[in-house]
């Protein structure tokens, strides 16, 4: 028995080996001149391509970035402490790509697409190129389907469409990541796959993010690309392209994808580090000259394809961290000009308890309004006006206390509308829920509610509407607009709710 298995083993090994190729072939090699700070300088390597993978031995790879006549600059992906001067490195002829399959949903991968969550190997269905030209003009179509973030302030005033690039910008700890994560949570029933790219973030916060997504069941449609602060600059530089390549795999299948780059400031810094080590000339803030192209070629790949090309879309939400609200720094201005609008978060608002701390006046969405649902447009139009008037008068109101009735009512309405925009980041609301809440606010049904009670009012009101008037929600979701009958029903519903809750809505006192 034992001899038998031994024989079987020998024959199978012989068969395996006889099928292998060990012929002597010419190989392009190079000799290491110097190695330090993750950058290898190599002579030789004739005909090497830009962006080609270089075999550094010991199963480590590098990326050829600088091609010069006598030497090649290579950045190391991972760890190559075994390298020394005089050692030989080889071309592989492969351009950087990542193996993707449907099984990548729910997984955490590194910048090279290798799993890091310990859930076993990832099957590969297709290799996607990291650097790929963005779709041309003809395969595209304009944005027409909304991407619901579940955040009232965004969906109503700064609507995002599928295929749009909307920047989330703000100082540290103003809730940028929270806006992005809230958006992922809201995609549970929207048939959108999500890719969250973490660049230069703390491992502890990424672990927390993964935990939240897992607890809320959002990992089933989400892939996380992780290049944390402890990853090498090369990995941080590649991570967004890896994420985009994964998103494009789903795009090719005609799916809608949401990709979040958290954050591109760190990405630019990683690229600056690489560029300086490669001795490329530096420009403003020591960033290299092509730092604009670095982000524009990435974000240009966000698109909405027409039906002939599958009809899929990639919506990109890049995040930029500013210093002391300075949006005129180099990287923020670059990315602002590349994207189709920005959500501007302010620390003053955040500290004043306005969460999400979105500055509605400075935030814009350049293309999303064409994708906004009619029902939302019907209520949001008035809200924008209310808030604009409110902001204008607010400055004056601080100086004098005796205001005329009209000004007072405008201020009062503005305060209430502003208060209704407050929302916990992890409690996304559906489009129809947002519509009925904003409807109540802009039609003045909230004017008598104390500002502090508004959150409570909203929660109880939504619960009441779900139990007593489910047909209003049904009508809004099917018609996508507020028809006349629904509007009457809605008014009646709010009145009856207000009457039955005197603790929240005090009955007007006779004067």
Partner 1 sequence: MKSTDLTITVATAITLSSSQEKAIEKAVKEKRNVSSVTIEKIVDPKLIGGIKLTINSVEYDGTVAGKLAKLKSQLMSQL
Residues interacting with partner 1, by CB under 8 A?
Answer: 16-17, 20-22, 24-30, 43-46, 88, 90
- CA–CA distance, 253 with 305 (Å, rounded to integer): 11
Q: Judged by CB, which is closer to partner 1: 21, or 405? A: 21
Closer residue to partner 1 (CB): 88 or 455: 88
Task: Please choose, from the candidates 173, 195, 278, the residue with its C-alpha nearest in 3D space to the C-alpha of residue 233.
Answer: 278
Give whichever of 80 and 437 is closer to partner 1, judged by the CB atom: 80
Helix (H, G, I), strand (E, B) or coil at 44: strand
Residue 447 · residue 386 · CB < 8 Å: no
> Which stretch of DSSP H or E encloses residue 270?
helix 264-277
Q: How far apart are CA 230 and CA 226, in angstroms?
A: 10
Which is nearest to 272 in space by CA: 200, 327, 181? Answer: 200
Q: Which CB atom, from 115 or from 290, has the smaller least distance to partner 1?
A: 115
Exposed, middle or buried, 282 (CB in 10 Å: 0-12/13-18/19+)? middle
Q: Of 44 and 150, which CB lies nearer to partner 1 in the complex structure?
A: 44
Tell me which residue of 269, 233, 295, 287 sits closest to 75, measured CA to CA.
Answer: 233
Task: Name the minimum Å distance from CB 116 to partner 1.
Answer: 21
Q: How far apart are CA 472 and CA 406, in angstroms?
A: 33
Q: How far is the CB of 208 from partner 1 (least distance, A)?
A: 36
Cα 488 to the center of its chain, rounded Å: 39
CA 112-177-255 angle, to 5 degrees, is 60
Nearer to partner 1, 4 or 26 (CB): 26
Packing angle, helices 264-277 and 330-338, rounded to 10: 120
Q: How far is the CB of 43 from partner 1 (least distance, A)?
A: 8
**Beta strand segments in 192-296, E:** 192-199, 222-227, 256-262
**Residue 457 contacts residue 446 (beta carbons within 8 Å):** yes
CB of 45 to partner 1, least distance (A): 6
Helices (H), 314-453: 330-338, 347-351, 374-397, 405-420, 431-442
Whether 71 is catalytic: no
Which residues fall within 8 angstroms of residue 73, CB to CB, at 6 or more apart?
A: 39, 40, 41, 42, 64, 65, 66, 67, 278, 279
Estimate to the nearest angstrom the gap between the alpha carbon of 336 and the chain centroid. 15
Q: Least Å distance between CB 47 and partner 1?
A: 9
Q: Which is nearer to partner 1, 91 or 355 (CB)?
A: 91
Nearest to 145 by CA among 382, 28, 337, 306: 306
Q: Which residues contact 301 (CB under 8 A, 6 or more apart)?
A: 132, 134, 135, 244, 248, 314, 316
Residues contacting 343, CB < 8 A, separation 6+: 154, 158, 166, 167, 168, 169, 179, 358, 363
| Catalytic hit among 71, 140, 297, 366 | 366
Instruction: State how far the Cα of 147 lies from the Cα of 111, in Å rounded to an integer.
Output: 27
- 82 or 471: CB nearest partner 1: 82
User: In the complex with partner 1, which residue's Cβ is closer, 17 or 508?
Assistant: 17
Tell me which residues are annotated as active site: 366
């Amino acid at each position: 028995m034992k001899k038998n298995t031994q024989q079987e083993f020998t024959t199978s090994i012989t068969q395996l080996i006889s099928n292998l190729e060990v012929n002597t072939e010419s190989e392009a090699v190079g000799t290491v001149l110097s190695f330090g700070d993750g950058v290898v300088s190599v002579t030789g390597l004739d005909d090497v391509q830009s962006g080609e993978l270089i075999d550094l031995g010991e199963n480590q790879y590098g990326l050829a970035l600088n091609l010069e006549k006598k030497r090649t600059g290579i950045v190391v992906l991972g760890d190559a402490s075994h390298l020394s001067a005089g050692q030989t490195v080889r071309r592989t002829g492969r351009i950087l790509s990542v193996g993707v399959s449907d099984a990548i949903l729910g997984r955490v991968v590194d910048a090279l697409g290798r799993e890091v969550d310990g859930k076993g190997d990832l099957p590969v269905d297709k290799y996607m190129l990291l650097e790929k030209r963005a779709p041309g003009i003809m395969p595209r179509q304009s944005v027409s389907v909304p991407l619901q973030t579940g955040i009232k302030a965004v969906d109503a005033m700064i609507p995002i469409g599928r295929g749009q690039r909307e920047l989330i910008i703000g100082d540290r700890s103003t809730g940028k990541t929270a806006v992005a994560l809230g958006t992922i949570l809201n995609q549970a029933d929207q048939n959108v796959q999500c890719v969250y790219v973490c660049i230069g973030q703390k491992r502890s916060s990424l672990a927390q993010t993964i935990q939240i997504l897992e607890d809320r069941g959002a990992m089933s449609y989400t892939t996380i690309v992780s290049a944390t602060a402890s990853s090498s600059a090369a990995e941080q530089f590649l991570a967004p392209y890896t994420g985009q390549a994964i998103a494009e795999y789903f795009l090719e299948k005609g799916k809608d994808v949401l990709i979040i780059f958290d954050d591109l400031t760190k990405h630019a810094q990683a690229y600056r580090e690489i560029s300086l080590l490669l001795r490329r000339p530096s420009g403003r803030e020591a960033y290299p000259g092509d730092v604009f192209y670095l982000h524009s070629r990435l974000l240009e790949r966000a698109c909405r394809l027409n039906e002939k090309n599958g009809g899929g879309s990639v919506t990109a939400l890049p995040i930029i961290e500013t210093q002391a609200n300075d949006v005129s720094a180099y990287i923020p201005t670059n990315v602002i000009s590349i994207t189709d609008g920005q959500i501007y978060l302010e620390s003053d608002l955040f500290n004043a308890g306005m969460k999400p701390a979105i500055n509605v006046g400075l935030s814009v969405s350049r293309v999303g309004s064409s994708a906004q649902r009619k029902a939302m447009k019907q209520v949001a139009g008035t809200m924008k006006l209310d808030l604009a008037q409110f902001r204008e008068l607010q400055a004056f109101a601080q100086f004098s206390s005796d205001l005329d009735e009209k000004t007072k009512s405008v201020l009062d309405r503005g305060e209430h509308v502003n208060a209704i925009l407050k929302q916990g980041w992890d409690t996304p609301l559906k489009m129809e829920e947002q519509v009925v809440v904003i409807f109540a606010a802009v039609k003045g049904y909230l004017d008598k509610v104390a500002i502090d009670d508004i959150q409570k009012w909203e929660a109880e009101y939504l619960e009441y509407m779900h139990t007593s008037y489910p047909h209003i929600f049904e009508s809004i979701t099917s018609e996508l607009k507020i028809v006349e009958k629904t509007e009457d029903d809605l008014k009646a519903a709010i009145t009856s709710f207000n009457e039955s809750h005197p603790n929240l809505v005090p009955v007007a006192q006779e004067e």
